[in-house]
Amino acid sequence: MKVFISADIEGCAAIATWDEVHKGGTGYQEFREQMTAEVIAACEGARAAGATDILIKDAHESGCNLIVSRLPEYARIVRAWSGHPYVMMFGLDSSYDAALFIGYHDAAGSDTNPLAHTMNERIARLSINGELASEFTVNAYTAALNGVPPVFLSGDRGICAAAKRLVPGMKTIALSEGFGRATMSVAPAKAVRMIREGVEEALTEGRSQCALTLPDRFEVELEFNNASDAYRSSFYPGVEHPKPCMLRFVSNDYFEVLRAIRFITV
């Protein structure tokens, strides 16, 4: 069994401030270690379920956050950014049997995580076919494009609920919940145990329930905080600019959606 892991940090246990997720911040080293521990737990759960090939995409900010010397010898890792439209899912293809999402967070425009955002802090809201979309939404559809079921997610309570709405059969583990600028979280050690057990359960029992069908048509709307960012990106082929801070892109081809998002949001 081949398993793909996309790892972010803002949904890891106990994280509450931007200082804890930006390289160079005073809290970064502690939560870099927690991100690593949660990814290792996912690897161990996958291994216990029978995974023989595990590929990890370090998918936060620089793409170079995980402490690689601690990763198990049976795992491979993609670090930094290739420029490919798959972005946080780079390395995934149709040969994989399942996709896991670790440390994920809710979308820009939501209030369940003080660090909620989508792609970057310049974007106020992303919607796909009229529904608020998160990074998980974009990446789960990328998995579906390759015929790979999204089977497990850990993160804040809001993204867990959103993931279950999109893929009702998938296993989610809520580690924290936001209240304004504060968070309430399980202990980091408990989070590690919950992820290990949850991933094993999801891969052993739940893969058949997690198929995600791509819509026939995608209408993507991006709202920027600043009108100048929208204007700059409005020249991408096929993009409409209906409002000062908004761009719209419509396609029946999800790879074209990914390509547009990749270049519009830089």
What is the overall mean pLDDT for the chain? 97
CB atoms within 10 A of CB 20: 21
For the ranges 112-116, 122-126, 204-208, which has the lowest average pLDDT? 204-208
The Cα 111–Cα 103 span in angstroms is 17
pLDDT greater than 90 at residue 33: yes
Exposed, middle or buried: residue 124 (CB in 10 Å: 0-12, 13-18, 19+)? middle
Give the mean model confidence (pLDDT) for residues 57-69. 98
pLDDT greater than 80 at residue 240: yes
Give the pLDDT score at 110. Answer: 95
Give the mean model confidence (pLDDT) for residues 50-72. 98
Q: Are 57 and 86 in contact (CB under 8 A)?
A: no
pLDDT tier at 208, thresholds 50, 70, 90: confident
Query: Model confidence over 129-176: pLDDT tens digits?
Result: 999 999 999 999 999 999 999 999 999 999 999 999 999 999 999 999
Q: How far is CA 238 from CA 219, 234, 249, in A?
A: 12, 9, 6
pLDDT greater than 90 at residue 206: no
Radius of gyration of the chain (CA): 17
Q: Are 9 and 35 in contact (CB under 8 A)?
A: yes
For the chain, the structural domain boundaries read 2-116+135-209, 218-264
Question: Token match 């290739």: residue?
Answer: 82
pLDDT greater than 90 at residue 69: yes
Give the mean model confidence (pLDDT) for residues 78-104. 98
pLDDT tier at 104, thresholds 50, 70, 90: very high
pLDDT greater than 90 at residue 266: no
Give the pLDDT score at 45. Answer: 98
pLDDT greater than 90 at residue 62: yes
For the ranges 35-44, 48-57, 205-214, which has the lowest average pLDDT? 205-214
CATH domain 2-116+135-209 topology:
Rossmann fold (3.40.50)
